Amino acid sequence: MQKIEEVIVHPLVLLSVVDHYHRVAKETKKRVVGVLLGETYKGRLDINNSFAVPFEEDPQDPKVWFLDHNYLETMFGMFKRINAREKIVGWYSSGPGVKVPDIQINESFKKYEVNPIFVVIDIQASETLELPAQAYVSKEEVNEEGSIVKNFLHLPTILGCSEPEEVGVEHLLRDVRDVAATSLATETQHKIAALKAMLTRIQTIQEYIELVLNGEKANHEIFFKLQEAFNHLPDTNSLSQEFAVNQNNTYLALYLASITRSVLSLHSLINNKSKA
């Protein structure tokens, strides 16, 4: 693996680890361990998939642990048949934090990846971490006694997602509703979120067009897509005329209804006078 400068953890990985923890170690002091799959490009590691691995450790002696490598290799073989681009890039632990045997576990993963990445995912979402995931890589150092030891070096970690994942997360968030909020307030929030997302995309388009105007080589496929989007925009002139016609028809109906009410009122008044 090339030198990693940034680690990007995708939402699917977080969801898988949380599910793994709640199925295996919920309401216990145990932690769960699994394999991370991803791709590396120009110093950027995208961790976009994962799977759980059977793991046990002695709570009394942290040096005693067991990781089922046969299960790991079988699962990775099946994953590889689905997506050959995804490689084993490291492993994860539900934490909390880095533990004593983690260096040894990390060394065992070197049979699958020369320099594996270790990601600690905070299931409890503690306030000590800015993000629920923190990535580390092992590094050899010389201690005061002159011997070589291995420690974990923290790597810049961010949460990111591709466009399909972003759409899926937005749909999930729409289903997480505040019970105290009214339907009108919920719909308003959805509209505001949609407008903000649209504004972000329009700003991206504007920045790209400005770069092209400043001399950057244009991508004709992008401009074809932009033209296609502009072709779907409605004709505002015809819309304004239609709105005016509909508004006049509505006012006419209201005017006729008002006249009808007035005539009925006069008719009732005449009837009352004649009876008197």
Express each pLDDT in 115-170 by its tens digit. 999 999 988 755 554 678 899 999 887 777 767 788 898 898 888 877 677 666 66
Model confidence band, residue 92 (pLDDT cutoffs 50, 70, 90)? very high
179 pLDDT above the threshold of 80: no
- Look at residue 236 in the predicted model and tell me its pLDDT: 66
The pLDDT > 70 percentage for the chain reads 86
- Look at residue 118 in the predicted model and tell me its pLDDT: 94
pTM of the model: 0.59
- Look at residue 178 in the predicted model and tell me its pLDDT: 53
The stretch 38-43 carries a mean pLDDT of 86
Question: HEC states along the chain?
Answer: CCCCCEEEECHHHHHHHHHHHHHHCCCCCCCCEEEEEEEEECCEEEEEEEEEECEEECCCCCCCEEECHHHHHHHHHHHHHHCCCCEEEEEEECCCCCCCCHHHHHHHHHHCCCCCEEEEECCCCCCCCCCCEEEEEEEEEECCCCCEEEEEEEECEEECCCHHHHHHHHHHHHHCCCCCCCHHHHHHHHHHHHHHHHHHHHHHHHHHHHHHHCCCCCCHHHHHHHHHHHHCCCCHHHHHHHHHHHHHHHHHHHHHHHHHHHHHHHHHHHHHHHHC
* More confident of the two residues 183 and 75: 75
- Look at residue 67 in the predicted model and tell me its pLDDT: 92
Q: Which of 23-27, 55-59, 90-94, 192-196 has the highest mean pLDDT?
A: 90-94
- Look at residue 220 in the predicted model and tell me its pLDDT: 84
Model confidence band, residue 176 (pLDDT cutoffs 50, 70, 90)? low
* More confident of the two residues 123 and 54: 54
- Look at residue 158 in the predicted model and tell me its pLDDT: 87
Average model confidence (pLDDT) across the chain: 83
